[in-house]
Amino acid sequence: MVEDDLKQLLIQTDRAAGPAVAPRADLASRIRHLDRRRRRITMISEPIALAAGLMLAMGIFFWTGKKPISIAKPQAVPPELVQNTGIPEVPTTTPDTKAELAQMSLALVQLQAEAETQMLVVRQLRAWERQQARLAELERQLAAIPDPLEEVRRQVEQAAYTMVYHADLKYNKLNLKDSAIQDFQRVIKLYPQTRWAQVAQNKLSEIRYNRKGALL
């Protein structure tokens, strides 16, 4: 009953959600167009990606290979050599350079923080995927365990068959006819739902028929 109620609830919710999307008359032609476009993009993007990769590698190579610009502290000029030309002293670093360096440091810190966040999410996603894979594996193992009811049915059939086989052997080969008849009757009593019960019944009918014929 609960399953029916659950089904009804889902169906009602589905109806409440309404239709998915309006059908498009031109979907087939859009698909063909999309297929052509993606094939073209794939053909073009591979060499572009290769070229971009090469340029990036070269850029990194040159950037790391460059020597750092050292801003040397200018030597102090002896006062006797300074002529009164009014040339002002050169400062060690300009305000623009300081500001630029500060901006670059800030940008670097921000990039690092973003990269760490994204890496964290990627790690979580991978952990989740591993968990899902493990769950799927456990479910497969669970499904591989044979159904106990099925196993019991199979064993019942096997037992009924064995009994019928031995009864038949007793009747035909060992001449233990009374014992065989009892065994056939036991199969019908103990295993009525199996097909061997029907076989035992047929055997008993055959025996009775033969005996009647012998009496006549």
Partner 1 sequence: MTSVMAGSTIRQAARRIRPESQLEEQLAERYIRGDESAFEEIVASYQGYVAGLTYRLLGWGGDVEDVVQEVFLAVFRNLGKFRGDSSLNTWLTAITVNKCRSWRRKHLLKMKLLKIAGRQKQAAPPRSDQGVMNRETFDRVRRTLQGLPGHYREVMVLHYMEEMPITEVAEVLGLRRNVVDVRLSRARARIREKLADLIEK
- Residue 134 interacts with partner 1 (CB under 8 A)? no
- Residues 15-34 touching partner 1, rule: CB under 8 A, are 15-21, 23-24, 27-28, 30-32, 34
Shortest separation between residue 188's beta carbon and partner 1, angstroms: 28
For the chain, count helices (H), then strands (E): 6, 0
Say which residues have a Cβ less than 8 Å from residue 196's Cβ, sequence separation at least 6.
157, 160, 161, 163, 164, 187
Q: Which of 92, 103, 124, 162 binds partner 1 (CB under 8 A)?
A: 124
- Residue 148 interacts with partner 1 (CB under 8 A)? no
CA 47, CA 60: separation in Å to the nearest integer?
A: 20
Per-residue contact flags (x/-) with partner 1 for residues 38 to 77, judged by CB under 8 A: x---------------------------------------
Shortest separation between residue 119's beta carbon and partner 1, angstroms: 12
For tokens 């029916």, name the residue: 4
Contact indicator for 73, 90 with CB cutoff of 8 Å: no
How crowded is residue 159: how many other Cβ atoms within 10 Å of its Cβ? 15
Contact indicator for 191, 160 with CB cutoff of 8 Å: yes
Binding residues for partner 1, rule: CB under 8 A, are 2-3, 5-7, 9-21, 23-24, 27-28, 30-32, 34-35, 38, 117-118, 121-122, 124-125, 132, 136, 139-140, 142-143, 147
